[in-house]
């Protein structure tokens, strides 16, 4: 089992998990019982629009 260490690596992994969770949410699935990935991404990054548009914005942001 791999372990992720270091603040930067943990944050990068979290961003990837939010991206994959948001992709599932665009297809109608729920990632968790708490806040949705859509709500978290909109709050933390300030993106606006539908789930699909927010997904595309986050994907573009991570590719930079």
The pLDDT, as a whole number, for residue 1 is 84
CA 13, CA 32: separation in Å to the nearest integer?
17
Give the orientation angle of helix 37-45 with respect to helix 7-26, to 10 degrees: 130
Predicted TM-score (pTM) above 0.85: yes
| pLDDT tens across the length of the chain (64 residues) | 889 999 999 999 999 999 999 999 999 998 778 999 999 999 999 999 999 999 999 999 999 8
Q: Measuring CA to CA, which residue among 5, 16, 4, 1 is closest to residue 55?
A: 16
Show me where the domains of the chain are located. 30-64
The pLDDT, as a whole number, for residue 32 is 79
The pLDDT, as a whole number, for residue 17 is 95
Q: Measuring CA to CA, which residue among 15, 22, 56 is closest to residue 36?
A: 22
Q: C-alpha angle 39/44/18, rounded to 5°? A: 60
The pLDDT, as a whole number, for residue 31 is 79
């Amino acid at each position: 089992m791999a372990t992720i260490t270091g603040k930067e690596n943990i944050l990068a992994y979290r961003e990837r998990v939010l991206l994959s969770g948001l992709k599932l949410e665009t297809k109608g699935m729920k990632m968790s019982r708490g806040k949705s990935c859509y709500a978290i991404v909109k709050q933390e990054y300030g993106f606006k629009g539908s789930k699909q548009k927010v997904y595309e914005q986050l994907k573009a942001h991570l590719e930079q």
